[in-house]
Structure formats: C-alpha cells, structure tokens
Chains A and B, each alone.
Chain A
Amino acid sequence: VQLVESGGGLVQPGGSLKLSCVASGFTFTNYWMTWVRQDPGKGLECVANIAQDGSEKRYMDSVKGRFTISRDNAKNSLYLQMNSLRVEDTAVYYCVRGAGWWEYWGQGTLVTVSS
C-alpha cells in the first residue's frame, strides 16, 4: 500500500491550494478515504472523509464551506480543494486509507498559510 501526497506549499491568507494523493497497492474503490492534518508540534485533526463512490462526504466544522474533498476512482486519486485559507490551516496534511481507523498513511504534505 502506498499513498503519495502532493500540492502543499506556501500560500497567503485567503488563497487556495489543491492537494492530491495517488494511491497504489490496493483496490482504491473498496475504501473510504480521509484527509488528516497535524499542526506542527501539535495534535491531529480529521479534516474530511469520502465514501468509496463519493456519495458521502463529511467535514470538520472549521473547514465546512471552504474545503472540498473529492476522488477520481479511474485515477486512484484523492483530492482536497482548500479555499479561503487561514493561518490556522497551516499543517501537514496526510492522506489516509479508510474511514475510521487508519493503518496506512502517506508521508504528508506541508501547507503553510502566511503573509
């Protein structure tokens, strides 16, 4: 199982960024997928998750209306579109397999929101 994130970087407050995750080594369409983030030196937060066919999506309260999770099963890919970014969104974002407990994690991609 391999999960490879990309798309992180430095962005100004109010800006946008789209994270991508390419999955391999398992049947992507069999699993919910989740984005988890970690503020450097602090704890973990479950940002959003999405059902196998994309029909169900759930978001943490602080990103509702700003972030959109999506997937392309033909490309074995998971995405996170992040708009109206805030300083407090600064974190390492991990792509993880599953909905509720996560055995497989990507290496993470750092998103820094700063002026």
Chain B
Amino acid sequence: QSALTQPASVSGSPGQSITISCTGTSSDVGGYNYVAWYQQHPVKAPKLLIFDVNNRPSGVSNRFSGSKSGNTASLTISGLQAEDEADYYCSSYTSTSTPYVFGTGTEVTVL
C-alpha cells in the first residue's frame, strides 16, 4: 500500500491561509469519508486536528478545517500563526489489507 501523496512543503505569512492536499485513490481517500489530519511538532507525538474529513475534536482551533473532493482531501489553515509551523500528515481508511494509510507529510513554514 503506497502512502498518500502530500506536498513536501507549504509556506505562508502570518495571517494568511494555506491549504495542504492529500491525494490517494478510490481505494482510500476517494472511497471513504475516513480521512484524518495530524499536526506534529519536533520530538512530539502527532496531534489529531481533523477526523472523518471535516470534524474537529474538542479543543482544536476552528482555524483548521478539512474537505474532500474525489480522491483528494485538503486541510486549510486560516489565520496562519507562528505556532502552526510543524509537520502535517493525512491518513485514510483503505480497502486494501493494510489497516490505514498515512500521507507522506508536509512541512509548514511560517515566513
């Protein structure tokens, strides 16, 4: 099972909005509404930001939002802040034998 494809890096200035894409296939992202997004700061465990495409756990800022179109899911961060500088990963249920598949990861830089 190949990893989902994410851009290696995305950058933006404070206050701007950025979008991170996550491209899979009809066997994963396109076939199910089970996409999640995680934020990971260095030497920390990942933090769940979005589950089931566009749902936020309690306590997660509403500056983070998720969506999906076809085989591509997206995470939008609005009002970019310095603390948003981190790595971001998507994940999806997959109909293959692998439990779940992650994206390749995106490094977000706040300019």
Chain A contact residues, CB within 8 Å of chain B:
34, 42-49, 58-61, 64, 94, 99-103, 105-108
| Residue pair A102, B48 in contact (C-beta under 8 Å) | yes
Task: Decide if A58 touches B45 in the complex (CB within 8 Å).
Answer: no
Contact A100 B104 (CB under 8 A): no
Interface size class of B (residues with CB under 8 A): 20 to 34
A-B contact pairs, 22 of them (CB 8 A): A34-B100, A43-B3, A43-B102, A43-B105, A44-B89, A44-B102, A48-B99, A49-B99, A59-B98, A60-B99, A61-B97, A61-B98, A99-B99, A100-B36, A100-B100, A101-B36, A101-B52, A102-B36, A102-B38, A102-B46, A105-B46, A106-B45
The A-contacting residues of B in range 78-111, CB under 8 angstroms, are: 89, 91, 93, 97-105
Binding site for A on B (CB under 8 A): 1, 3, 34, 36, 38, 45-46, 48, 51-52, 57, 89, 91, 93, 97-105
**Contact present for B45 and A107 (CB under 8 Å):** yes
Expressed in whole angstroms, the Cα–Cα distance for A101 and B32 within the complex equals: 13
Please determine whether A46 and B91 come into contact, CB atoms closer than 8 angstroms: yes
Chain B residue with the shortest CB-CB distance to A45: B102
Q: Give the chain A neighbours of B91 by CB distance below 8 A.
A: 44, 46, 100-101
Q: How far is the CA of A59 from the CA of B96 in the complex (A)?
A: 10
Query: Is A46 a contact of B46 with CB atoms below 8 Å?
Result: no
Closest beta carbon of chain B to A41's beta carbon, Å: 10
Residues in A neighbouring B57, C-beta threshold 8 A:
103
Decide: A105 and B97 in contact? CB cutoff 8 A: no
